[in-house]
Amino acid sequence: MSDESPRCLWMNGEIVPWDRAIIHVSNLTIRLASSVFEGIRAYWNVEQRQLYVFRLDDHLKRLMQSIAFVRMESRFSQADLTESVLATIRANEAHHDTYIFPLAYYGAGPFGWMGGAPTNLVITVAPTHSMLRSDEAIACGVSSWTRISDNVLPPRIKCFANYQNSALAAAEAARNGYHPHWGALLLNAQGKVSEGAGACLMLVRDGTLITSPVTSGILDSVTRRSLIQIARDILGVDVVEREVDRTELYSADEVFLCGTGAEVTPVGSIDHYQVGSGTIGPVTRRMRDAYHDLVRGIDSRYAEWRTGVY
């Protein structure tokens, strides 16, 4: 086992050593790129010596939906997976910020578009770094690739096939000199702003938070939903969910990306137009700080959003 690998993972109901989690190369998941997954973060609270998984129920609910949409059948319930996520973290004795990755894939079985093979599930956990204390504002560009749409490959499903669209956009953005990971912003087939390659997008104009609706070809992001609630209920910031034009990106006072991975990432320029001051804006900062305190359990409100591991 290499030093970088986690000690163990959860596979189909059992905790197994990292190096023993193997699937055959003929597996349907490799042939059809048809796995579905979730990305979840857990934040370590130093004072409380507690690890809080952020919105575990909401992520696992979305995983169960993704599994159902692609017509896989899980032999594990959401409650089973909740326990399994916690068991995997404990088995790895994770006392640090952690990224949790549950993945549903096909077991051995015949080839067929409807699968015809049993659904397997694996949960991996690995140490991760939070950027919520960084003020860095990133450079983004509007992609030449169009965001997939609900009638083609529904962005609402968190499946690998959809990420081919994201991968093309992210690779193009990186080669064009924008942020290597979060640099791509995609428009949908109607030419309206959709989302980033792996995160949703929010704008601030005259103190109001504006974000594309869930019908604009976005993933129904757990972070987006949380930030809308934080803005309205904690910060008293108005939120409007509506279609967004491309040029609104250039005229916004502030823009930021949000997602489990991206957390709250300020955007300093788009297509080489400076956004606001080019640095983290005041509303973005307040949103980010409030989000940080909630996910880490420093702010005790919204206790239902946090699942303590220990």
Instruction: Report, as residue numbers or ranges, the catalytic residues.
Output: 158
**Residue 122 within binding range of ligand PMP, rule CB under 6 A:** no
DSSP class of residue 178?
A: S
Q: Contacting ligand PMP (CB under 6 A), which of 198, 217, 266, 276?
A: 198
Binding to ligand PMP (CB under 6 A) within 128-187 occurs at 166
Q: What residues have CB less than 8 Å from 288, skipping those under 6 apart?
A: 132, 256, 263, 264, 266, 280
Segment near ligand PMP (CB under 6 A), from 89-97, 230-238, 259-267, 300-308? Answer: 259-267
Pairwise CA distance, residues 119 & 72, whole Å: 6
Binding to ligand PMP (CB under 6 A) within 206-235 occurs at 218-219, 221-224
Burial status of residue 146 (CB atoms within 10 A of its CB: 0-12, 13-18, 19 or more):
middle
Angle at CA of residue 128, ends 125 and 134, nearest 5°: 155
Pairwise CA distance, residues 162 & 156, whole Å: 9
Which residue's CB is nearer to ligand PMP, number 120 or number 223? 223
Q: Provide the minimum distance between the beta carbon of 199 and ligand PMP in the complex, in angstroms, as a whole number.
A: 5
Which residue's CB is nearer to ligand PMP, number 29 or number 265? 265
Segment near ligand PMP (CB under 6 A), from 15-23, 43-51, 195-203, 297-305? Answer: 195-203
Q: Is 26 helix (H, G, I), strand (E, B) or coil?
A: coil
Segment near ligand PMP (CB under 6 A), from 1-9, 130-138, 254-262, 270-278? Answer: 254-262
- Tally of CB atoms within 10 A around 30: 14
**Residue 98 within binding range of ligand PMP, rule CB under 6 A:** no
Q: Contacting ligand PMP (CB under 6 A), which of 89, 199, 210, 255?
A: 199
Which residue's CB is nearer to ligand PMP, number 101 or number 250? 101
- Tally of CB atoms within 10 A around 2: 6
Q: Provide the minimum distance between the beta carbon of 140 and ligand PMP in the complex, in angstroms, as a whole number.
A: 14
Among 144, 149, 264, which Cα is nearest to 218's? 149
Which residue's CB is nearer to ligand PMP, number 16 or number 172? 172
**Residue 195 within binding range of ligand PMP, rule CB under 6 A:** yes
Q: Could you tell me whether strands 263-270 and 138-146 are parallel, antiparallel, or unpaired per DSSP bridges?
A: parallel
Rg (CA), the chain: 20
Q: Which residues bind ligand PMP (CB under 6 A)?
A: 39, 166, 195, 198-200, 218-219, 221-224, 259-261
